[in-house]
A and B are shown apart, each in its own frame.
Chain A
Amino acid sequence: RKEVEQDPGPFNVPEGATVAFNCTYSNSASQSFFWYRQDCRKEPKLLMSVYSSGNEDGRFTAQLNRASQYISLLIRDSKLSDSATYLCAVNMNTGFQKLVFGTGTRLLVSP
């Protein structure tokens, strides 16, 4: 099983749609979880951290399910500008150590 696994997509949705991505991780001892957004040939940009209690930032909601070892990202009211690749990242250590990334899920929002 891959350390961090994502459906590569692409997810093609119309503007205004709600779309959800999941990401599974293999190490039950994983400590921190993140969603990054990456535009073509650009750096990953932090979208949000994912907490056990879940967190919401505007149209974006992230959830963590430790029992099933997955995190999710929900995007409501999709905008054209949301078109990008969404990377799931997991920190498997307790210190300031490495992130393990998934391959990313590509989202295409169309007019």
Chain B
Amino acid sequence: EPEVTQTPSHQVTQMGQEVILRCVPISNHLYFYWYRQILGQKVEFLVSFYNNEISEKSEIFDDQFSVERPDGSNFTLKIRSTKLEDSAMYFCARNRGDSGNTIYFGEGSWLTVV
């Protein structure tokens, strides 16, 4: 059973369009993350979200990206104006709060920008 449920599983969008990727945790946790993986490259941290606020973000997470938890359940990643280089797998992840900071990933959303 996945730790979080992500939708859509795959989205194709035109360059310049806005995209919203969604993540629904199985249970109520405070720590969430977005990571991305460009095809053939390593998994990269984008942003961490704690108690409804961004706690840390990477250099990749520029003004084109935003995250929110609008209804206290769904956790979204928005890309305002997609670029070709945004094509990647985007993983939502959560921390169970156990010792060791173990992070568990969702099944991912494939984003293809054309």
List chain A positions with a Cβ less than 8 A from chain B.
Answer: 31-32, 34, 38, 41-46, 49, 87, 89, 91, 95-104
Contact = CB atoms under 8 A, between A and B. Distances in A.
B42 A97 contact: no
Contacts of A45: 105
- Chain B: number of interface residues, binned into ranges: 20 to 34
B25 interface: no
A97 B54 CA distance: 11
Give the most central of B50, B89, B103: most A CB within 10 Å: B103
B42 A101 contact: yes
Nearest to A41: B89
A33 to B, nearest CB: 9
Contacts of B75: none
Given A98-B56, A101-B43, A103-B42, A32 B91 contact: no
Contacts of A98: 33, 45, 48, 56, 58
B82 to A, nearest CB: 20
B9 to A, nearest CB: 11
Dominant secondary structure at the B interface: strand
B103 A99 contact: yes
B27 interface: no
B107 interface: yes
A13 B50 CA distance: 43
23 contacts: A31-B101, A32-B101, A32-B102, A34-B102, A43-B107, A43-B108, A46-B102, A49-B100, A87-B42, A89-B103, A95-B55, A96-B48, A96-B50, A96-B55, A96-B95, A97-B101, A98-B48, A99-B43, A99-B103, A102-B42, A103-B41, A103-B42, A104-B42
